[in-house]
Amino acid sequence: MTTLSPSVSDGVAGFRLVRPKVLERIALPGASTNGALSVMEVVVQPGGLVAPVHTHSREDETAFVIEGTVGVRLGGEELRVVSGATLFGPRGVPHSFWNAGKVRARILLVITPGNLDTYFHEVAGVAGPGPAADTDAIARHAARFGMAFDLESTADLAARHQVSLA
């Protein structure tokens, strides 16, 4: 059994991925927990879609909605959840998040095990510059980490919920 050491993150030095409507910040990297978990803060402005529907083959995600209203596709179900709700998305279950309200939403995301930090560190370079991200390149990058993206879901979510990745 591996013994873990206590770890504190100052909340400032963590990695940030900034898009026009979404800020993703690794608040506690997996390296700080010997890979047991990583913690992210996701801030989503109204109309923001965090990611296309995607499936992890290696990680579970637990999401706590800190503030706002979040739309979630979790498996075959779509939910509208408000602050205080906690969701669990086990590996193998397709999911996505978006801001379903009129004010910003904040989500605390716990990824177990904490092995996706490299994915997030590299994705900005893979996506390309500017607001028009290369979603095919991102999907290929994600596959390296055992994730599969349903890129066709983006148009469906955009039309039904007035959200976008940009």
The domain locations on the chain are: 16-161
pTM, two decimal places:
0.87
Note the pLDDT of residue 11: 60
- The 10s digit of each residue's pLDDT in 45-80 is 999 999 899 999 999 999 999 999 999 999 999 999
Q: Judge whether residue 115 has pLDDT over 80.
A: yes
**Which amino acid makes up residue 41?**
E
Report the CATH superfamily, name and number, of domain 16-161: Jelly Rolls (2.60.120.10)
Share of the chain above pLDDT 70, in %: 85
Q: What is the DSSP string of 2-67?
A: PPPPP----SSSS-EEE-SSEEEEEEE-GGGGTTS-EEEEEEE-TTBB-SSEEEESS-EEEEEEEE
Catalogue the E-assigned strands of 118-161: 147-150
Q: Judge whether residue 138 has pLDDT over 80.
A: yes
Note the pLDDT of residue 123: 82
Average pLDDT over residues 109-129: 85
Give the torsion through C-alpha atoms of 28, 30, 34, 36, to 10 deg: 100
Between 52 and 13, residue with greater pLDDT: 52
Note the pLDDT of residue 117: 87
Q: Judge whether residue 89 has pLDDT over 90.
A: yes
Note the pLDDT of residue 3: 67
Please report, for residues 32, 89, 159, the alpha-carbon distance to residue 63 in angstroms, rounded to integers and kept in the order given. Answer: 20, 8, 24
121 contacts: CB under 8 Å, gap ≥ 6: 15
Is residue 43 within 8 A of residue 22, CB to CB? The reply is: yes
* CB neighbours of residue 14 within 10 Å: 18
CA 60 – CA 56 distance, rounded (Å): 7
Report the chain's mean pLDDT, rounded to a whole number: 88
Note the pLDDT of residue 14: 54
Q: Which of 19-33, 87-101, 115-129 has the lowest mean pLDDT?
A: 115-129
Note the pLDDT of residue 151: 87
Q: Judge whether residue 4 has pLDDT over 90.
A: no
Share of the chain above pLDDT 90, in %: 58
CA 163 – CA 98 distance, rounded (Å): 7
